[in-house]
Structure 1
Amino acid sequence: MIATHSDIVLDDPTRELCAAVASGRLKPARLAIVAPGGYGKTAVLDQLALGCERGGVPTARFGEHDGAELVLVDDAHELAEPQLARLRELAENERTGLVIATRPWPRSADLNGALARLRGQLVLRPLDRQRVAALLGKERAGLAEFVHKQTGGVPGFVTRLATAIGEEPEIPARALAEFRPELDRLGQDTLLLLLAARAGSGLDADLLGGLLGRDHAGVADAVDAARATGLLAHDGALLPIAARALDALVPADRRLAVSQRLVRLQLRRAGPVLTLVRPLLGSGYTGTEAAAAFEAAAAEAADTDPALAARLLSAAVDAGRSPTAVGARWAEAAARTGDLDTALRLADQVIADPQAPERGQAALTAGTALVHRGQLARSAELYRWSATELSELYAVLCLVGTGRLDEARAVRLEPGSAQPPTLLSGAMSAMARGVLESVTGVASGALSTLVNAAEMLEPAGGSPLLPESPSALGALVGIHCGELEIAQALLERAIAAESGGRVLANRHRLLLAWIAMVRGDTELATQRLATVESDLTPRDWLFAVGLRAGLARRASDLAGLRTIWGEACEAVMRHRVDVFTLLPFGEFVVAAARLGDRDRLALHVRQAGELLHALGDPPLWSTPLHWSGLHAAIMAEQQAEAREHVAALASGADHSRYHAVVAEAAACWLNVLTGAVDPQRVEAAAKGLHGVGLWWDGARLAGQAAIRTTDRAAMVSLLDCARILQGRSSAGSATPGRTPALSERERQVAELVVAGMTYKQVGDRLFISAKTVEHHMARMRQRLGATSRSELLAQLRGILAEES
C-alpha cells in the first residue's frame, strides 16, 4: 500500500512546524514554501488546510480569504500582476497568517516583496532511499534504488512512478504519459532547453545562447525556468525519468533537430561535440555536417574509449566520409579494443590507396597488430615502410625477435629533433635499448633499462597502441634471469596503470601467472590464468596453452597433458618461433618428450636454435630453452643430447648468478642420471634453484636424486630437502586421542591414488619411485584385508573421509 504525501514528503522538523500551525500554537503563521515542481507544495498546503480545520483555525485559500486567520496561497509564481499586488498588501498585514507556496522562478518584484515579509520557511527536500522504500511498501521495497535513481527522489515523481510500477525495474508508459500536461504548459524556451539538456548540452551559456537566440542573462532565466520544473537538476542534467518522458512524448524529428542544431553550433565554435554526438549514433544522421561531427567526436573519444571512437568513425563513413580518409584512425581504435582483424583490414585499405592520407600511421597500426599475431618479420617490414621515428623503434623489437641483430643495431635509438620528447617516445627509445642490451649486454643492465622505460610510460596509461609494453618485456627478462620479484612488481604496476590498454592486459596477466608456475605455486597460477579472457590473440594464446601444459606437467597429470597437446601443436603452428616466446616453446618441448611426440616439434626446435645462434646465443634468452631441452632429453633418455644442453648452459654460466646456478643444477642432473649422486652438491644446487625463483625445479632435482641414490641416509636427507623446498613438512602427526588407520606417508599416497593418479604420477608428486608407491599400496591392502583393488580404494575413501 502506498503511503500518503504527508507521511513521506515532510521530514520531522517540518511536520512539527505544520502541527504547530494546525493547532494554533504558531499564530500568526507566516511561512514560505519555495520548491521546484514535483516537491509536494500543493500536498502540504492541503495537509495544512485539513489540520487547521480539525484544530479550529479558520483557514481559506487566497482569493476567498475574507475574515480568515490563515490564508494559503498555492502556485504564487503563476498569479497575475493585480493578484500579486493584493498578495503583497496582504503580506504587509503582520496580524494575518499567511503561507505562500511558489516555485523559485519566475519571481516578480511583488512576489519577492510578499515573501520578504514572511518569518520562516517550510523546507521540502528530495526523498532518500529509505523514504522511497516506505512509499513503495514492503512488497516492492527492493525497487527503491531504481525508483530513487530514476526520479532523483523528487516526491511527486516518486509517487507517480510508485503508483504505476509493477514488480520489475521498468518505467511503465502510463508513468511517462503523466508528464504530458507539464510539458504542454512549458514555454518554448524552457522546452528547448530541456531538449538541449537531453542532447547533452550541459549548462554551456554560449551554446545555449546560440540555440535560444538569447544573451547570457536570457540563458540564465531559461535555466532557472527549467530548474523550477523539477525536471532539471542543479548541475544541468535531466532526471532520468524526465529524459525518458521527453523521448516518449516529444516527436523524434523535433528532438533530432535540436541535437543537430547544437552540433552545428559547436562545430562552428570548434568546441567539444562528443557528448552531443554520441546520442546521434544510429539515428540516421547523415551528410557532410554529420560526418564532420562524428569524426570530431571520435577524436575526443580516441584516448579514453577506443571502442566508442571506432563506432563514431564507422558512423562518419556511413554519413559520407571516405573510408580511407579516416581508415588509419579507425584501424588504430579497432586495434586498441583487441579487434585485430578489423584493424588489419582497415589499415591495409589505407596502405593500398596511394591517395589516402596517414598511410604511414596505418602501416604502424598494421605492424603492431601483426606483432600480437606473432608475425614479427612482416611487422618489421611495415614498421620500416612507415618510416616514422616511433615505427623505427618498434622495428627494433621485431628485428631482435627474429634474429636480425645487425639491422636492429643500425636503427637510431634516440629521438631526433623533429620528434617531440614525449613520454611515449622516451619510453619506446628506452625499450628498444633494453631489448638490444638483453642480447648484447648483461641481464641486469637490460632489466634496469626496461624498468625505467616502464616507469616512464606508466602515466600514459592505456592510450598508446603498443606492440609490447616495457613492463611485459622487463618481466620476460626478469623471468629469464631469475629476478621474479622485479618481474612481478612490473606486471602488477602495469595492470594497475592499464599500460598498453586492453590489447596488452591479457599479456600482463599471463606473465604474472607464469611467475607463479615457475615458483611451483600451481594453485595461484591457475587462479591467475582464470582471469585471462577467452578470446586471445595468437601470441597470448600461445602463452595460455604453455601455462596449461606446464601446470599439467607439474601436477603429473598425463591425461590432462594429452588433452592439451593438440592445442599446443596448433598454437605452435599459428605462431612462428621468436625470442620473446621461448618460454612456452620450452614447455612444449618438455611436453613433447613426456608424450613421446618429439618429432612433432623438431622443426621448431631447430628454428629456435638457429634464431638464437643468429643473435650470438645470448645466455639470457638461450638458458631457459636449454634448461627445457635438458629435461626433454632426460625424459627421452637421450644422454648425449642432455650433455649437449649441459655444455651449452655451462658456457653461459658467467653471465649472471642465475645462469651459474642453472648451469650447476644441469651438471647435477647429468650426474644423477648416471647414478653418481653427490648429496651435498645436489642439495646445494637444489637450494640454488630455489633461491633464483625456480622452486619447483629445485624440489624436483632433490627428489629425483633421492630416488636414484643407493645411500639410505642420503635419500632421507634429499627427500627432506625436496619437501622443504616444495613447502612440505617432513614429519606427520597423529590426531590426538586416537590412532590413525594410515601413516602420514600412506595417507599421502592414498589421497593421490584415490584422486585417480597413476603410481608414476604419485611418485613424481611425492618424490618417490613408482615401485615405492606400489609397495605402500600393497601394505595397506594387506593390513586392511582388502580382496581387490576396488575394495581397497573404497576402504581408503572411507578412512580419508573419517580423518578429514
Structure 2
Amino acid sequence: MSLGDPVLSRASAAEPVLDEPTRRLCEAVASGRLAPARLAILAPGAYGKTTVLDHLARGCARSGIPAARFGEHDSGTALVLVDDAHQLGGEGIAQLRELADDQEQGVVIAARPWPRSAALNDVLTRLSGQIVLRPLDQAAVAAVLGRERARLAEFVHAETAGVPGYVARLASTVGKQPEVPGEALAEFRPELDRLGADTLALLLAAGTGVTLDAELLAGVLDCPDSRVGEVLDAARATGLLRHDGTLLPIARRALVAQVPAERRFAVYQRLVRVQLARRGPVLGLVRPLVDSGLTGPEPAAAFEAAADEAAPDDPALAARLYRAAVAAGTRPGVVGARCAEAAARAGDLDTAARLADQVLADPAAPGRREGARVAGTALVHRGQLARSAELFRWAGGRTCTGYAALGLVGTGRLADAQRLLDAPADGDEPPTLLAGAVAAAAQGVVESVTGPPVTALSTVVGAAEMLEPVGRSVLLPDTPAALGALVAIHSGELGIAETLLERAVAAETGGRALAPRHTLLLGWLAMLRGDTDVANDRLTAAGADLSPRDWLFAIGLRAALARRASDLGALRTIWGEACDAVIRHPVDLFTLLPFGELSVAAARLGDRDRLAHQLRRAHELLAALGDPPLWSVWLRWSGLHAAIMAEARDEAAEHVRALTDGARHSGFHTTMATAAECWLRVIGGDVDAECVEAAARGLHDAGLRWDAARLAGQAAIRTTDRSAMVTLLDCARQLQGRAPEPATAPTGATQLSERELQVAELVVAGMTYKQVGDQLFISAKTVEHHMARMRQRLGATSRSDLLARLRAAVADRAG
C-alpha cells in the first residue's frame, strides 16, 4: 500500500466507493470479461490507487483468475498488479517493460503523475487503457460516512475536496460534530516528513493563500524558474494541492499542526521578502506572523506594509499590525498617526486619542497634522466640539476646515465658522470627494441657522450623496447623512431623514465607528412616529459599546420610549444613567434632541434641577446663533411638555410664544406652533374639539402619531362636553392606530406641491426615477427625496399604497 493512499474500505467496512464507469471497468477486469487487462492508474496521492488494486485482487480471487502483486508473480499469473511504479528503479522498470511487451499478459500499473521517468512513460505507452480515479461527490462521501453521520457529508467534502484517501482519513476519526480531529491531522505526519524541502516549502507557501506565480516561487525556493514547474508537479502529486495552486483545507490544517512553527515562519518570511521587493500584496502572508514575536527591520517593514494594505477594509486588523510593527522595531512616531486612525475607524476611540496625542507631542513625528485630525475626530465622538475645532483648524486643509466649521457652528460660533468657510482653500490639497462633501455639509449646517430649511436640506443631502462612494473607508467625526437627518428632523421632513440614514447604513458610511449613530437616529425617527417596536429594535441593534455622543442619544431614546409606554419604573431606572450621560457630554447644536427629551423625563420624575444647567446652556447656545427656528423647535416643544408636567404655566407660555414666533419659518413650524397653542389652552381647561382635532391631525400628517394621539386624548379627558369627549377619544384612537386616510379629492392634490405633483404624474405614468429626473431637469436622487416626502405627507404604508394615493391625487388635479 502506497503511503498517502489509505484504504478507503476501512471507513466503509466493505468495497470502496467508486463512480459508475470505474466500477464497471473494475468488474470487467475482475470477472475476466476484459482480458488481458492492460491498464494504467495515474493519480495523485490519496486518490485510492492502492485501494483499487486491492479491490481488483479480491475480485480476481472470487472469479478464480490468478492475480498477484508485482514481484510476487510468476509465469502462471494472469494479472499482475503494480503499485507505486513511479518509485521503481532501473531493474524494476526493465522487468516492468518485459511485462508490458507481452501483449498476452494482463497488467495494471498504478503510479503518481510525478516523478515519472522517460522509461516509465515508455512502459505506460505500451498499455491500452486507463482507470480514472476521480474525487468523490457529496453523495459518495455520505455513503462513506454512513447513515448516522451523513449530515456531515458537506463538511467532510469541503475539507477534503472529495479526495478519497482524505475522506477515509477524516471519516475514520470524525465524531458527530463538524470538526477535524487531531488524530486525522496526525496521520499526515509521515507523508509530510517524506516530502522534499522544496515541495514542503511550496505547500507552506500555498497555505498562505498567495497566488503562486513562477517569479514568486522562484524567489521563495531560491531556484531557477525552470525548476519551479518540477516542484509544482511534485506538490500536486501529493494530492494535497489542487491544480489551481490552492491547498485542500484539511491539508492546510495539517501543515499548521504538524510542521514546526519555525519552519513555517521561515517560509512566510521568504515570501514576504520577495513580495516586498516586488511591491506585491503581503497581508495574507503577514497575518499568521502578527503574534509571532518576530523583530528586526524586515519583519517591521512587513507588518507596516500589511497594515497599510488592511487599513481600508479591516481597520481593527490594521491597528494590530501597526502595533506589531512597533514591537518589531519601527519607531512609534512613524506609524502613530496611521495606527491612531485605524483604531478610531475600528471604534477604539480611547486608543486613537492616546496615540494621536503622542504623535502631536512629538515634534519629530511625521504625520502630526494627520494626528490632529484623528484626535479632533475622537473628541467629536466624545462631545468635545470646541476642542476638536481647535485641532482641525491647526491641521488645516479643505477637509479639516470643514470639520472645524461644523464644530464652531455646533458650539455657537457662527461668524467664525462663516469666516473659515469663506477663506481661500489650501491650494496644496486636492478637491477630493471627501473634501467636497465635508465642505458642503458644513455650508448646509450654516444655512440651517441662517436660511430656509429647504436650502439647508438640499445642500446637506447633496453632501451625503457626494460622500457615498468613498465614505466607508475614511475616518469621519460625523457624516453628512447624520447631519442631514438632524436638519430634516428639525424641519419635520422625517421621510428625507429616513432615506438619508438608510442609504448611509447600506453604504456603511463612516464604517464601524459611525454605524451606531445612524442606527440610533433611525430609532429616534421610529420613536417620533410612534413605532416603538421598531425603535426598540434599533436601540438594541446599536449595541452597548457606544461613544459618549451615541450613549447620550441612546439614553435619550430609552427615556423617550419609557415615557411613551407610561413606564415610570423604567424611567426611574434610566434616570441614573441619564444624569451620568449629560454630565459627560456638553450641550451642542447636534445634541438638542436628547437633551430636550431628557428635560421631559426630569420633569416627570420631579428632578428638573439636575438638568437646569444643561438646558440653560442649550438656550444660550441658540441665542448666540440668533435663535434659529429650525434648531429651537424640538427643544421648545420638549420644554413645553416639561413645563406642563411641572405645572409651570408661565414657563409653558414662554415656550409657546417662542414656537409661535418661529411659525413662519416653515409649514412644519406652523404645525408645531398651532399644536403648542392648543396644548396650552387644553391644560387651562379651554377645549375646542374642532381646533384640537385640527391640531392633532396636523401633527399626525407631520409623522408625529404619538404626539397627535396624546393631544387628542388629553383634550378628551379635560372637556366637560360629553359629545366633544367622544369625538376626541375616537380621534385619538384613529390617530394612534393607523395611518391617515388615502389621498382623495380634494385633500390628495392639495397636500402636494406643484413640483411634487409633476413628479407624481410622471411616476404614475410608469417612468423610472432617472427618466423623471431627465424630464424635469433634476437628479434621480432628488426624485427619490420627493417620493419619500410624498409618502410621508400622504401617510402611505408601502410603495403600492403610495402609487395608489398618487394616482388619486393626479386624477384629482386633472379633474
Write the distance in 2 (CA, Å) between the matches of 1:199 and 1:724: 63
The alignment partner of 1:32 has SS state of strand
The alignment partner of 1:284 has SS state of coil
Q: 2:395 aligns with which of 386, 391, 394?
A: 386
* More moved, 187-196 vs 595-604: 187-196
Q: 1:599 aligns with which of 593, 609, 625?
A: 609
Matched, 1:178 2:190: no
Equivalent runs, 1:316-355 vs 2, <5 Å: 316-355=325-364
* TM-score (normalised: structure 2): 0.85
Q: Any unmatched runs of 5+ in structure 2? A: 1-8, 740-815
Write the distance in 1 (CA, Å) between the matches of 2:16 and 2:442: 67
Kept after mapping to 2: 8 A contact 1:65/1:71: no
Partner of 2:748: none
- The letter of the residue matching 2:349 is L
- CA 1:3 to 1:315, structure 2 compared with 1: closer, same or farther past 3 Å? closer
Matched, 1:533 2:531: no
Q: 2:165 aligns with which of 133, 156, 163?
A: 156
Q: 2:110 aligns with which of 101, 109, 113?
A: 101
Kept after mapping to 1: 8 A contact 2:481/2:504: yes
Partner of 1:473: 483
Write the distance in 2 (CA, Å) between the matches of 1:236 and 1:210: 17
C-alpha displacement of 1:5:
7.6
Partner of 1:13: 21
Write the distance in 2 (CA, Å) between the matches of 1:278 and 1:512: 37
The alignment partner of 2:429 has SS state of coil
The count of residues paired between Structure 1 and Structure 2 equals: 730
Residue by residue over 1:125-172, the C-alpha shift from the partner in whole angstroms, topping out at 9 and shown as x without a partner, is: 333444434433445455545444443332212222333345555544
- CA 1:662 to 1:30, structure 2 compared with 1: closer, same or farther past 3 Å? farther
Q: 2:65 aligns with which of 47, 57, 68?
A: 57
Partner of 2:624: 614
C-alpha displacement of 1:7:
4.3
Matched, 1:306 2:315: yes
The alignment partner of 1:675 has SS state of coil
Partner of 2:785: none
Write the distance in 1 (CA, Å) between the matches of 2:479 and 2:347: 15
Matched, 1:263 2:248: no
Write the distance in 2 (CA, Å) between the matches of 1:469 and 1:235: 44
- The letter of the residue matching 1:623 is V
Partner of 2:50: 42
Residue by residue over 1:514-534, the C-alpha shift from the partner in whole angstroms, topping out at 9 and shown as x without a partner, is: 111000111111122111211
Write the distance in 2 (CA, Å) between the matches of 1:500 and 1:88: 71
Q: 2:365 aligns with which of 356, 362, 369?
A: 356
Matched, 1:675 2:685: yes
Matched, 1:692 2:702: yes
Residue by residue over 1:62-105, the C-alpha shift from the partner in whole angstroms, topping out at 9 and shown as x without a partner, is: 45364544343322332335644665665566655443322232
Partner of 2:746: none
Kept after mapping to 1: 8 A contact 2:11/2:168: no
- CA 1:30 to 1:659, structure 2 compared with 1: closer, same or farther past 3 Å? farther
* More moved, 717-726 vs 148-157: 148-157
Residue by residue over 1:732-776, the C-alpha shift from the partner in whole angstroms, topping out at 9 and shown as x without a partner, is: xxxxxxxxxxxxxxxxxxxxxxxxxxxxxxxxxxxxxxxxxxxxx
Q: 1:458 aligns with which of 465, 468, 471?
A: 468
C-alpha displacement of 1:4:
3.1
Write the distance in 2 (CA, Å) between the matches of 1:702 and 1:559: 25
The alignment partner of 2:109 has SS state of strand
* TM-score (normalised: structure 1): 0.86
- CA 1:444 to 1:10, structure 2 compared with 1: closer, same or farther past 3 Å? same
- CA 1:653 to 1:117, structure 2 compared with 1: closer, same or farther past 3 Å? farther
- The letter of the residue matching 1:379 is S
Q: 1:642 aligns with which of 634, 648, 652?
A: 652
Q: 1:545 aligns with which of 548, 555, 564?
A: 555
Write the distance in 1 (CA, Å) between the matches of 2:49 and 2:568: 76
Kept after mapping to 1: 8 A contact 2:142/2:149: yes
Kept after mapping to 2: 8 A contact 1:545/1:568: yes
Kept after mapping to 1: 8 A contact 2:41/2:131: yes
C-alpha displacement of 1:115:
4.4
Q: Any unmatched runs of 5+ in structure 1? A: 730-804
Partner of 2:411: 402
C-alpha displacement of 1:664:
1.1
* More moved, 438-447 vs 294-303: 438-447
- The letter of the residue matching 1:715 is M
Kept after mapping to 2: 8 A contact 1:183/1:191: yes
Equivalent runs, 1:668-747 vs 2, <5 Å: 668-727=678-737
Write the distance in 2 (CA, Å) between the matches of 1:429 and 1:112: 73
Kept after mapping to 1: 8 A contact 2:398/2:439: no
Identity over aligned pairs, percent = 68
Write the distance in 2 (CA, Å) between the matches of 1:546 and 1:271: 49
* More moved, 504-513 vs 175-184: 175-184
Partner of 1:245: 254
The alignment partner of 2:469 has SS state of helix
- CA 1:90 to 1:497, structure 2 compared with 1: closer, same or farther past 3 Å? farther
- CA 1:95 to 1:420, structure 2 compared with 1: closer, same or farther past 3 Å? farther
The alignment partner of 1:33 has SS state of strand
C-alpha displacement of 1:423:
2.5
Partner of 2:770: none
Partner of 1:558: 568
Partner of 2:12: 4
Write the distance in 2 (CA, Å) between the matches of 1:210 and 1:690: 71
Write the distance in 2 (CA, Å) between the matches of 1:5 and 1:99: 24
The alignment partner of 1:235 has SS state of coil
* More moved, 411-420 vs 350-359: 411-420
Write the distance in 2 (CA, Å) between the matches of 1:448 and 1:368: 25
Write the distance in 2 (CA, Å) between the matches of 1:168 and 1:676: 72
The alignment partner of 2:737 has SS state of coil
Write the distance in 2 (CA, Å) between the matches of 1:368 and 1:59: 80
Kept after mapping to 2: 8 A contact 1:2/1:137: no
Write the distance in 2 (CA, Å) between the matches of 1:555 and 1:290: 58
Matched, 1:277 2:286: yes
Partner of 1:221: 230
* More moved, 207-216 vs 134-143: 134-143
The alignment partner of 1:36 has SS state of coil
C-alpha displacement of 1:594:
1.2
The alignment partner of 2:172 has SS state of helix
C-alpha displacement of 1:618:
1.4
Partner of 2:83: 74
The alignment partner of 2:41 has SS state of strand
